[in-house]
Amino acid sequence: MDASVIEVKYALDTFYFLVMGAFVMLMAAGFAMLEAGLVRSKNTAEILTKNIVLYAVACTMYLVCGYSLMYPAEASGLLWPGLPSILGGTDHGVEGVLASSGETYYSGLSDFFFQAVFVAAAMSVVSGAVAERMKLWAFLAFAVVMTGFIYPIEGYWKWGGGYLDSKGFLDFAGSGVVHMTGAVAALFGVLLLGARKGKYGADGRINPLPGANLPLATLGTFLLWFGWFGFNGGSELKLSDVGEANAVALVFVNTNAAAAGGCISALIIARLLFGKADLTMVLNGALAGLVAITAEPLTPTPLIATMIGAVGGLIVVISIITLDRLKIDDPVGAISVHGSAGIWGLLAVCFTNDDATLGAQLLGIGMIFGWVAITSGIVWYVLKVTVGIRVSEEEEAEGVDIGECGLEAYPEFVRT
């Protein structure tokens, strides 16, 4: 290849990583708005604080140690990647790139940037499930461990060339590595935290605690849908030739199709089960469709992708209702959207990708689930018995905005 072509492709593929990374970064805004819309007004400022700070913590911990744990120099097929190191500022030089004949095709720092926004997304899943009753600082302490250690290790197992990768486990953009991981950490947080006061009644009654701002929740969902083009599209990892460009285009189309399928199926199921169009279920449905296709957005046809998303929409509605029946209180449906639909997504890979085996997918699901369950369970438990993870009853009643942040999200709105 001509030297200038190599350089332009390097620049294009680097640019691609950076722009797709920026798309995924916008998902942080999506999570923030979605969660802010589905909690009560007295708890809104606190969840916004959690969302923006966890993003900052994730980026920092990943820079300090997480990235180097997840992507050691050699793919080794192991369980343990080696020792971490802090991200440096150097990158590939022109001579090295040209000498590699284009094998080295993107900036190392652009890869860090692209990967960093993924760990932030995984951590963000947790914030919604534990909303309205968790101590802010305990949550942030958990975020430090999750983004600096728990996520990088299981991420290494697949994307860093570790054990799961060597066993043939497939996860294109992270239904397991990102979404199921976040959901499992959320689940164990919720199990140790308990339900919100007044959520479950004595005789098996489930009391709704409606969200304060559905326009924000909807905006958040659209932002997440938009950002997901970067999440899945960017995970093709390359753009600069006809084959890759076509692949990226198909990934975008399938991602979009799955979201649409999940949205519609959730709408229909909600209508059948509840008699009316529950917007919050529709929003969760679109997201579940996106989570489901994330494991394999390249090999399905667009129609199959739509159906994969539609099944995700069905699963998420049933999962939300089931968790409530089990008294597992998840204010935004995060465990269902990212966990239940994530597991479905990982299994659905077998339908469209000939390289996938049910055994490898189950191995991946089991190992990631087990690792995150044990490590997050330990961290939540240690936090619970040392500093405590739940706010006091009075603070929960007054709203964590006052208790944890000292301010109100909607100070001029009279409470009814």
Partner 1 sequence: MKLITAIIKPFKLDDAREALSEIGIQGLTVTEVKGFGRQKGHTELYRGAEYVVDFLPKSKLEIAINDEQVDAVIDAIKASTSSGKIGDGKIFVTTLVEVVRIRTGESGAAAL
Contact positions toward partner 1, by CB under 8 A? Answer: 206-208, 210, 273-276, 278, 280-281, 320-321, 324, 333, 416
Contacts of 333 (CB under 8 A, 6+ apart): 128, 280, 284, 316, 319, 320
| Between 210 and 243, CB nearer to partner 1 | 210
Decide if 353 contacts 299 (C-beta within 8 A): yes
Three-state secondary-structure class, residue 390: strand
Partner residues linked to 97 by β-bridges: none
Please state the closest distance from residue 282 (CB atom) to partner 1, in A. Answer: 11
The first and second tokens of residue 177, run together, are: 């590595």
Q: Hey, CA dihedral for 168, 173, 175, 177, is it positive or negative? A: positive
Residues 6+ apart with CB under 8 A from 148: 61, 62, 64, 65, 66
Q: Closest separation between CB of residue 274 and partner 1, Å?
A: 4
- When the beta carbons of 274 and 381 are compared against partner 1, the nearer one is 274
Residue 35 corresponds to which tokens in the numbers above? 């969660």
How far, CA to CA in Å, does 321 sit from each of 32, 112, 214?
Answer: 23, 38, 20
CB of 284 to partner 1, least distance (A): 9
Q: Which residue, 210 or 411, has its beta carbon nearer to partner 1? A: 210
Q: Is 222 exposed, middle or buried (0-12, 13-18, 19+ CB in 10 A)?
A: middle
* CB of residue 199 to partner 1, shortest distance in Å: 9
Identity of the residue numbered 264:
I
Residue closer to partner 1 by CB (options 246, 322) is 322
* Nearer Cβ to partner 1 (40/158): 40
162 or 331: CB nearest partner 1: 331
CB of 330 to partner 1, least distance (A): 10
* Whole-number Å distance between alpha carbons of 11 and 298: 24
Q: How far is the CB of 195 from partner 1 (least distance, A)?
A: 12
**Which residue, 150 or 187, is less far from partner 1 as judged by CB?**
187
* Nearest distance, CB of residue 327 and partner 1, angstroms: 12
